[in-house]
Structure 1
Amino acid sequence: MTSDKDLGMDRAITRRDFLNGVAIGVGGAIAGRALPEISWLAATGITQDAPGYYPPALTGMRGSHDGSFEVSHALRDGRFRPTGQSVVTGETYDLVVAGGGISGLSAAYFYRARVPSARILILDNHDDFGGHAKRNEFRPGGRLWIANGGTAGIESPFPYSKEAHELMAALGIDPVALSAEAGRAADRSVFQGLQAATFFDRETFGVDRLVVGTPGGGRGRGRGAAPGETWEAFLAKTPLSSEAQRDIARLETAAVDYMPDLSNDEKKDRLSRMSYKDFLLNVVKVHPDVIPFYQVRTHGLYGIGIDAVGALECWAYHYPGFEGMRLDPKATGRMSFTARGDATPKPAYNFHFP
């Protein structure tokens, strides 16, 4: 049986040691060169133990260092070999958390709540805690401006667990008050003069072109649509082929039941077993030139394209093609947690920055 000592539980690892020591050693072994953000910090003279070191105020490209994914995969596959010399310090921890994002910090919080005297070590490969929910700060003209460093809103708070609600309350987050504030911000015309646009890149569409006024805000039925703009008028300004323009207009405006012989549950089951790309090509029968227009639409939420995201997931997010299928507005077991939250009828999603 592996002992705590074998796992390194007896070794003291400070935040400085982890970021400036272990990370550099691993990154050098894996990537063969210094880590970009560590090099950037060194070049600017900013070190973690320097007076005034404050990650939210830093600029530049910061994030996971080169080699992070390779190390994770090596650990998964049993190929990782530590490169540093172990030092016995005699220190122990009651809990070691890998990752200082919301989940990791929550784990430490709830553990400390139950065991107030617990010693907890949180490891992270970034320069700040919070994970995707970290913050950025700017002081133009001496005035403090706070912006989200990643996470834009509180996603689907209504099906939250009892523990999640307890954490929000402990942090002083009031969803009802936040929703009201977001509504007031919208009433102040924060979005006045703004509208959605679609950028067509040269590598994919043969020309770099920004077309303003995407109907529906770019997701079929979102905010930011150009008043009175039709899909036909918008598409005529794009570099898309005539076949693609025709089928996109049909996809976005027609209400067709593409599975008329199936029940509601059978439709959802069928959709859960195909990608959105397959749905468009093989069920809706769009021209192949249509796919590049939608391919990256899911990148913001999933980090992958529609060739790897299920059609049922896209139905939950109101992507085009499902208007005429009369699917019951409720979640099924073959959906991700976030998609299940979006598919379940609930109050409007206002828990976000304006």
Structure 2
Amino acid sequence: MDVPMTRRDFFDGIAVSCVAGAGSAAPKLLDPPGPLTVRGDTSWALSVPHALRDGRFWAHAGPAVPTGESYDLVVVGAGRGGRGAAAEWLRRHPAASVLLLDNHETLDQHETLDEPGTWETAGFDAVMCDEESFGADTLVSIAAPGWIDRLPIARRARRDLRALHEDPPDWFPGTTAEGRLERLAGLTYSAFLREACGAHPDAERFCRTMPSAEWGYDARAFGAIDAWGTGYPGFAGLGLSRAEPSRYNSPTVRRHWHGRPPATAAPALDGRARTRTGSPVVSVSNGPASATVAYFDGHQVRTVEAGAVILACWSAVVPYLVPGLPAERRRALRQAARVPLLEATVRLRDPGAWRRLGVRSVRWTGAYWCATAFTPPDTVRMRATPCRSELGPAAGSVAGRRELLMTPYETLEHSVRGQLARLLGPAGFDPGGGIAAITIHRWGHALAPEYGRPWHAFYPDGPFPSEAARGPFGRIAIAGSDAEPAARGEAALKAALRAVEELAP
């Protein structure tokens, strides 16, 4: 009780209580002490945006105080897209004054999210058929011959999996190649396995988390057309050419068809742009001579003037920041529901148990953390995907994020320790004394939404909501990967370059 509260603490407490609902016990999700560190979309970073969303920020924030500062460009959001926009502006205008504002406390909080994932390129050499899916934990190395026979699933399910991997039949006889692609575009991968292949429920359950680590949702939301494009089992008998992607494949699958392009690093600013972290923007308004940008510094609202503003933040936040946007544009911006993700980095005191386990990376079939991988000499990486995939990518992300934001940090820590105990315990691991530190990056708004079948009937011909959402609005342009949209870092840079071009004098 002796710790002084900032105004943002007040917003945080109200936000959590409102999410929890009247009469329920809502934990205050402050960063915990000890070996656990939580970063990313913490309650501290989200308190002000949530207060804006709920319409209660301005009732408690107090009047805005001008700083007297003026910049040629102000960028809202200092992730890959925001830094890309600032770097491109400075390339065109080397003497320009640029300010980046971000709601997170440090810029490196973006790095885990911005860096391209390695789960899909490294692959998995083992699968944990876990208690959540099959009643008991059974670790199976899928690098060894005959691995399907060792799965703890029904005999018919093993037969079906063997057929999917080794000799799948033609599921759509008498159908043209285009017709087959159209059939795949209308199904999720889970529906393809169940309905087209007639696979045993255990076989579908075993395959369900195959896309989770890369896409943030499982096969109940992942399109069959992209499962075919990514090389998932079950499609070889269709006789489809792989010379080029289908027009129905998502932007990411099409972009990576002939091999993953090299990772594009976030541009370095070399100190030429000023950056203010822990400074969530709360208002951006056009004026006759400049735009006014208001941000919250933890105690009061402050304003700066800007010749131009690039919003490299979540599209869904923009309607709460910019007054006067047309109704159609506001609706389009709000459709961008980002996919939640969790990343955990665990430093082991003694990595011997992992080495004795004899595998490198493990996919879990139903546990909270869907992927676990060891990085020498002593680090374990884990990924969780809270999206409720049975509801689809958009509605599932909203529902999963709501549950994630109400999950106490200690529950996340216990889930990390518990799954490591289940995986490494048989090899002599102690989940209490064997862990030196845990860092969890919690991203309630992680991967940008990506258009694709079967969820978006307008894809690939359009018109696209992102096209209605973006474009200049006076001195303001909208960037961020939502505006493309695609779920990878290169999309954020593409959107940043487009926004700079739209505001180019």
> Which bin holds the TM-score, normalised by the shorter protein?
0.5 to 0.7
Query: Is 1:80 aligned to 2:42, yes or no?
Result: no
Counterpart amino acid of residue 110 in structure 2? G
Shift of 1:128: 2.9
Matched, 1:119 2:95: no
One-letter code of the match for 2:201? P
Deviation at 1:326, TM superposition (A): 2.0
Q: Is the 8 A contact 1:247 1:290 kept in 2?
A: yes
Summarize deviations over 1:62-100 as a string: whole Å, max 9, x none.
22214877976786xx64331422331233444443432
**From 103, 112, 137, the counterpart of 1:208:** 137
Aligned counterpart in structure 2 of residue 279 of structure 1, from 185, 192, 211: 192
Q: 1: CA distance between counterparts of 2:237 and 2:132? A: 34
> What secondary structure sits across from 2:227 in the alignment?
helix
- 1:284 positional shift: 0.9
Q: 1:109 deviation in Å?
A: 1.3
Q: Do the aligned partners of residues 29 and 321 (structure 1) sit closer, same or farther apart at CA in structure 2, a change above 3 Å counting?
A: same
The letter of the residue matching 1:341 is R
Residue in 1 aligned with 2:356? none
Match of 1:102 in 2: 80
Letter in 1 for 2:15: I
Amino acid at match of 1:80: G
Counterpart in the other structure of 2:206: 293
CA contact 2:77–2:102 (8 Å) conserved in 1: yes
Tell me if structure 1 keeps the 8 A contact 2:74–2:101. Answer: yes
Distance in 1 of aligned mates of 2:62 and 2:250: 42
For 1:337 and 1:22, locate their aligned partners in 2 and report how far apart those are by CA, in whole Å.
Answer: 42
2:130 partner amino acid: D
Q: Given that residues 169 and 237 in structure 2 are in contact (C-alpha distance below 8 angstroms), is that contact kept between their aligned partners in structure 1? A: yes
- The 8 Å contact of residues 258 and 283 in structure 1, kept in 2 or not, is answered as yes
- Provide the C-alpha distance between the structure 1 equivalents of 2:174 and 2:152, rounded to a whole number of angstroms: 37
The letter for the 2-side match of 1:302 is: W
Q: Secondary structure at the match of 1:61?
A: strand
Give the secondary structure class of the aligned counterpart of 1:198. strand
Residue 151 of structure 1 corresponds to which residue in structure 2?
Answer: 116
Structure 1 residues 108, 209: closer, same or farther in 2, change over 3 A?
Answer: same
Q: Unaligned 5+ residue runs, structure 2?
A: 18-26, 265-374, 377-505
CA 111–28 in structure 1, closer or farther in 2 if over 3 Å, else same: farther
- Aligned-residue Cα RMSD (Å) equals 3.7
SS in 1 for 2:42: coil
Contact (CA 8 Å) 1:95, 1:119: kept in 2 or not?
yes
Shift of 1:279: 0.6
Q: CA deviation at 1:311?
A: 0.4
The CA deviation at 1:132 is 4.4
Q: Name structure 1 gaps, 5 residues minimum.
A: 1-19, 45-57, 135-148, 157-190, 215-224
| 2:107 is aligned with 1:128 | yes
Q: How many residues align?
A: 248
Deviation at residue 269 of structure 1 after TM alignment: 2.1
Q: In the alignment, is the contact (CA less than 8 A) between 1:331 and 1:341 conserved in 2? A: no
Higher strand proportion:
2
Answering whether residue 153 of structure 2 is matched by residue 269 of structure 1, we say: no
Cα distance, 1:261 vs structure 2:
2.1
TM-aligned CA deviation for residue 337 of structure 1: 1.7
1:339 to 243, 253, 256: 253
Residue 11 of structure 2 contacts residue 47 of structure 2 at CA under 8 Å; is this kept in 1? no
Deviations along 1:105-126, whole A, 9 cap, x unmatched? 1122112222331322231435
In structure 2, distance between residues paired with 1:293 and 1:126: 40
User: Residue by residue, what CA displacement relative to the aligned partner does 1:120-164 show, whole Å, maximum 9, x if unpaired?
Assistant: 223143533462447xxxxxxxxxxxxxx95346x99xxxxxxxx
CA apart distance, 1:280: 0.6
TM-score, normalised on structure 2? Answer: 0.43
Residue 315, structure 1, aligned to residue 232, structure 2? no
Give 2:215's aligned residue: 302
Pairwise CA distance, 1:59: 6.9
Within 1, Cα distance between the matches of 2:49 and 2:186?
29
The answer to whether the aligner puts 1:324 opposite 2:237 as a matched pair is: yes
Q: 2:155 aligns with which of 242, 254, 257?
A: 242
The C-alpha deviation readout for 1:253-286, integer Å capped at 9, x for no partner, is 1132212322222222221121011111111110
Residues 306-330 of structure 1 show CA distances to partners (whole Å, capped at 9, x for unaligned) of: 1111001111110001112122221
Are the aligned partners of 2:11 and 2:51 in contact in 1 as well (CA < 8 Å)? no
Structure 1 residues 73 and 31: alpha-carbon distance in aligned structure 2, compared to 1, 3 A threshold: closer
State the identity %: 27
Matches within 5 A, 1:55-94: 60-66=37-43, 79-82=54-57, 83-89=60-66, 90-94=68-72
Question: Tell me, what secondary structure is at the counterpart of 1:320?
Answer: coil
Name the CA distance, whole Å, in 2 between partners of 1:335 and 1:23.
43
Check whether the contact 1:296–1:306 (CA below 8 A) recurs between aligned residues. yes
Change (3 A) 1:237 1:28: same
Structure 2 counterpart SS, 1:307: coil
Q: Residues 350 and 293 of structure 1: is their aligned pair in 2 closer, same or farther, counting only changes over 3 Å?
A: farther
